[in-house]
């Protein structure tokens, strides 16, 4: 934008506008129109209003581009008086891009219910516009709504000679209204604390949109009991401006702003629950239907005596470890990429969930704590925390039940705990423990050992059964060829592969496995090595056969096998080499690819004309013909073929057989020799042709196709050079130049050719050959 020259947009002329509109590359927005001022123009109020609407729309678009949320301030707290809320000064942007502003802090009187009710009903934010009530109970969202109104009346002059002066409002004032939006949940009148947990699960776990209009900016969720505030939860609905960026693309994860808000909401909710519990322990599911992937823990969540916990469900695996306190934020940030923990999920889902309880340790104490825990070992120990399971008595082991028996004793002696156990107990009593959800993908493997294969079946019985099945299939020679050239480890893999259940049920897969193994041996020999099958090659074949549906050739063989058994001689051919392992010609696949390619060229309607008026066998030949590589490389050639194929349909006919493909193939055998196509083919090599030009080629076959009555074919020209009869045909009974042309045979040939030309009016290769044979 140049303040001295105006906008930086490039102006275009009227003829350019018409051309760009016709080509479909000029995008217009009806909201972004403003009056064009010039000297001598008569202005009305609607022109100036439209000018103002233009700039308001532009500001809203810019607001949407930066995201929605609170920019600064706008914190909500309980006011100094009963039934009062205090909203601090600040500003933010609604999801629709409108700016809301509070230049100073305000006190909202919740007792003034008619104002909030009327605003909610007028703005369409409440489900039903019920009459105003003096007492309100339930969950509500406190939000800011941008509004405007007119004020400051001034005199209006008449617009006609007979008109009268009137008084109209002279200013439009923008303002912000505070509204209460009812939260759309189950509507239970009691248990507001339980409804808080269900609302958090709906927002953060089920991605519920909260039922709030895009024209308001949510600030906090309130729980009211007869107009008295029970709790205020800002993180439930409040989002910071720009915090919804940084989500993982294409993986279905919630934006980072929503995940971070879940953590902040859980912290505030947990602090309220702990303050009301009076230091008593409680399970997480009693107050939180869902947990964020990372969060703080209440004090005493781990029993330091027996290292049990009843905070997480018994199905969740819980480990206890330590972490330097300055590394905790980075670990929490990494855990936020994981899904929340849904405590209402099934037992199978919770059984695959694991969490790690972390005790933050100051950096200067790290070495001493590690030394007390590991006691000289190299690896850092992790303590397993067992579930207390107060409601799962039936799942307790007998030994655990015996441990819980209380026998009368004279004196209870508390055992002295020293060493690492004492340090673990000290860490378990810390009040700043955190939990993070663990991933199932391990960074490293701390186990040290060697690989061993363990088989629980009788190898002799397995081998006898395999040899019997291979003999019945007639593949004994191929199996011996593979086993004799396999290393011991590879032979074990081959036997295990062929004895698998899937290959036992499918003779085709058995033959295909032997064919791939044979090919691996012959390939190694062809590359100058020994004809030996090693374990790596055998495992590669096993990987291919583990998913045969990914191999088109195998998939086609399996389809054939499902319809009828494959003969033994063909199974032997499959097991001898990999000639079968070629991409088959699947008519359905070719047809889908051809549809997609023609649609991308803009010739869908022209293709539909041929497709709907062709016999199935003829259509199969057409699809195979147009799927050739030269048609895939040349849209012009594809359009020309479509035009020739559509000619009989346009003339009112029907494509009955595949002979039309032979005709089109002969006409397009040398497309560069066709004058009407040569220029388009050359132009295509420099730039792609637009769809309109391609459709023109389809529709104008009569203009560019070669005329046979004027341009003789190569066969006619060749015959005309070799035989006198051909010369007479081309010359159309011209006077003879030699005495031999006056013979009776020549006259008969001329008469025959003249009659044929009068009947068909074209010179073909057939009419050229017939008189020559008779002559």
Q: Per-residue pLDDT for 755 more than 60?
A: no
Q: Which of 409-423, 611-625, 631-645, 736-750 has the lowest mean pLDDT?
A: 736-750
Separation between Cα atoms, residue 187 and residue 191, nearest integer Å: 10
Q: Read off the pLDDT band of 141 (50, 70, 90).
A: confident
Q: Which of 105-109, 210-214, 404-408, 547-551 has the lowest mean pLDDT?
A: 404-408
Model confidence pLDDT, tens digit, residues 315-328: 888 888 888 888 88
Separation between Cα atoms, residue 533 and residue 426, nearest integer Å: 60
CB atoms within 10 A of CB 501: 7
Percentage with pLDDT > 90 across the chain? 1
| pLDDT score recorded for residue 417 | 59
Q: E strands within 692-749?
A: none
Q: Per-residue pLDDT for 121 more than 80?
A: no
Q: Which of 48-62, 620-634, 657-671 has the lowest mean pLDDT?
A: 48-62
Q: E strands within 362-483?
A: 383-387, 434-437
CA 138 to chain CA centroid, nearest Å? 38
Instruction: Please name the residues in contact with 753: beta carbons below 8 A apart, sequence gap of 6 or more.
Output: 725, 728, 729, 732, 733, 767, 771
Model confidence pLDDT, tens digit, residues 415-436: 555 667 888 888 888 888 999 9
pLDDT, the chain, mean: 75
666-678 core/surface letters (b: 16 or more CB in 10 A; e: else): ebbeebeebebbe
| pLDDT score recorded for residue 500 | 84
Q: What is the dihedral of CA 13, 19, 25, 28, to 10 degrees?
A: 50
* Structure-token match 């040398």, residue found: 670
Q: Which among 99-108, 152-161, 170-179, 734-743 has the top mean pLDDT?
A: 99-108
Instruction: Please name the residues in contact with 700: beta carbons below 8 A apart, sequence gap of 6 or more.
Output: 643, 676
Q: Per-residue pLDDT for 124 more than 70?
A: no
Burial label, 37 (beta-carbon count in 10 A; 0-12, 13-18, 19+): exposed
For the segment 351-359, the average pLDDT, to the nearest whole number, is: 87
What tokens were used for 10? 């490039």
Cross-strand pairs, 264 = none
Report which DSSP code applies to 548: G
Q: Per-residue pLDDT for 413 more than 80?
A: no
Separation between Cα atoms, residue 488 and residue 430, nearest integer Å: 58
DSSP element (H, E) containing 664: helix 659-667
Distances (CA, A) of 343 to 263, 294, 302, 312, 313: 16, 14, 19, 8, 8
| pLDDT score recorded for residue 397 | 58
| pLDDT score recorded for residue 56 | 79
* Structure-token match 């050079």, residue found: 721
Separation between Cα atoms, residue 350 and residue 338, nearest integer Å: 15
| pLDDT score recorded for residue 710 | 41
Q: Read off the pLDDT band of 400 (50, 70, 90).
A: low
| pLDDT score recorded for residue 80 | 77
Cross-strand pairs, 171 = 151
Q: Per-residue pLDDT for 458 more than 70?
A: no
DSSP element (H, E) containing 220: strand 217-225
Separation between Cα atoms, residue 757 and residue 709, nearest integer Å: 10
Separation between Cα atoms, residue 329 and residue 334, nearest integer Å: 9
Check: CB of residue 182 under 8 Å from CB of residue 127.
yes
Separation between Cα atoms, residue 322 and residue 373, nearest integer Å: 10
Q: Per-residue pLDDT for 453 more than 80?
A: no
Q: Which among 5-9, 14-18, 397-401 has the top mean pLDDT?
A: 14-18
Q: Per-residue pLDDT for 736 more than 50?
A: no
Separation between Cα atoms, residue 589 and residue 733, nearest integer Å: 55
| pLDDT score recorded for residue 6 | 54
Model confidence pTM above 0.85: no
Distances (CA, A) of 62 to 96, 426, 579: 10, 55, 62
For the segment 479-486, the average pLDDT, to the nearest whole number, is: 88
CB atoms within 10 A of CB 112: 13
């Amino acid at each position: 934008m140049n303040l001295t020259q105006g906008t930086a947009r490039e102006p275009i002329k009227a003829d350019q506008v018409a051309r760009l509109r016709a080509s479909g590359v000029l995008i217009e927005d009806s909201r972004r129109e403003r009056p064009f001022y010039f000297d001598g123009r008569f202005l009305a109020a609607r022109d100036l209003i439209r000018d103002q609407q233009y700039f308001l729309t532009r500001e809203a678009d810019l607001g949407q581009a930066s995201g929605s949320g609170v920019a600064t301030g706008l914190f909500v707290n309980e006011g100094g008086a009963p039934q009062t809320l205090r909203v601090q000064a600040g500003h933010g942007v609604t999801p629709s891009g409108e700016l809301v502003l509070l230049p100073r802090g305000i006190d909202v009187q919740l007792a003034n219910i008619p104002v909030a009710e009327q605003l909610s009903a007028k703005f369409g934010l409440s489900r039903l516009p019920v009459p105003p009530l003096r007492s309100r109970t339930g969950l509500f969202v406190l939000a800011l709504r941008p509004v405007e109104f007119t004020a400051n009346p001034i005199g209006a002059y008449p617009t006609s000679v007979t008109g009268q002066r009137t008084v109209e409002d002279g200013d439009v004032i923008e303002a912000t209204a505070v509204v209460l939006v009812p939260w759309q949940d189950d509507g239970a009148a009691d248990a507001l604390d339980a409804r808080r947990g269900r609302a958090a699960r709906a927002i953060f776990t089920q991605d519920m949109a909260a039922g709030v209009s895009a024209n308001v900016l949510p600030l906090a969720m309130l729980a009211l009991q007869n107009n008295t505030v029970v709790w205020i939860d800002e993180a439930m609905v409040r989002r910071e401006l720009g915090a919804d960026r940084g989500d993982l693309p294409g993986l279905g994860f919630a934006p980072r702003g929503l995940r971070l808000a879940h953590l902040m909401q859980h912290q505030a909710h947990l602090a309220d629950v702990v303050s009301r519990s009076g230091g008593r322990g409680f399970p997480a599911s009693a107050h939180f239907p869902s947990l964020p992937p990372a969060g703080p823990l209440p004090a005493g969540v781990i029993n330091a005596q027996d290292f049990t916990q009843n905070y997480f469900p018994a199905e969740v695996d819980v480990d206890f470890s330590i972490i330097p306190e300055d590394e905790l934020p980075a670990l929490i940030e990494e855990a936020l990429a994981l899904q929340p923990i849904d405590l209402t999920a099934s037992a199978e889902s919770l059984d695959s969930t694991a969490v790690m309880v972390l005790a933050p340790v100051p950096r200067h104490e790290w070495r001493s704590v590690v030394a007390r825990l590991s006691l000289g070992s190299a690896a850092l120990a992790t303590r397993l925390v067992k579930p207390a399971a107060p409601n799962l008595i039936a799942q307790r082991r007998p030994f655990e039940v015996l441990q819980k028996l209380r026998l009368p004793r004279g004196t209870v002696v508390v055992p002295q705990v020293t060493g690492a156990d004492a340090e673990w107990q000290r860490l378990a009593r810390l009040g700043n423990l955190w939990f993070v959800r663990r991933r199932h993908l391990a960074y490293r493997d701390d186990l040290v050992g060697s690989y061993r294969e363990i088989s629980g079946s009788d190898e002799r019985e397995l081998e006898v059964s395999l040899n019997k099945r291979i003999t019945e299939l007639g593949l004994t020679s191929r199996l011996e060829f593979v086993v004799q050239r396999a290393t011991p480890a590879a032979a074990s893999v081959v036997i295990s592969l062929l004895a698998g259940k899937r290959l036992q049920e499918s003779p085709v897969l058995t033959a295909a496995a032997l064919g791939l193994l044979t090919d691996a041996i012959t390939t190694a020999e062809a590359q100058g090595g020994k004809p030996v099958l090693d374990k790596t090659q055998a495992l590669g074949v096993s990987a291919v056969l583990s998913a045969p549906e990914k191999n088109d050739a195998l998939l086609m063989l399996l389809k054939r096998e499902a319809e009828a058994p494959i003969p033994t001689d063909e199974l032997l051919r499959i097991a001898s080499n990999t000639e079968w392992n070629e991409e088959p010609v699947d008519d359905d696949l070719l047809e889908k690819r051809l549809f997609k390619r023609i649609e991308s060229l803009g010739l869908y309607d022209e293709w539909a004309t041929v497709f709907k008026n062709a016999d199935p066998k003829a259509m199969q030949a057409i699809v195979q013909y147009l799927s050739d590589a030269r048609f895939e490389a040349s849209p012009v050639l594809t359009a020309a073929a479509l035009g020739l194929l559509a000619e009989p349909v346009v003339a009112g006919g029907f494509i009955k057989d595949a002979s039309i493909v032979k005709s089109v193939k002969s006409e397009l055998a040398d497309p560069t020799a066709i004058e009407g196509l040569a220029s388009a083919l050359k132009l295509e090599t420099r730039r792609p042709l637009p769809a309109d030009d391609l459709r023109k080629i389809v529709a104008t076959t009569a203009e560019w196709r070669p005329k046979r009555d004027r341009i003789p074919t190569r066969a006619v020209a060749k015959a005309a050079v070799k035989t006198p009869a051909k010369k007479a045909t081309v010359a159309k009974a011209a006077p003879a130049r030699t005495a031999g042309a006056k013979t009776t045979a020549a006259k008969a040939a001329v008469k025959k050719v003249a009659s044929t030309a009068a009947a068909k009016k074209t010179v073909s290769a057939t009419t050229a050959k017939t008189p020559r044979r008779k002559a």
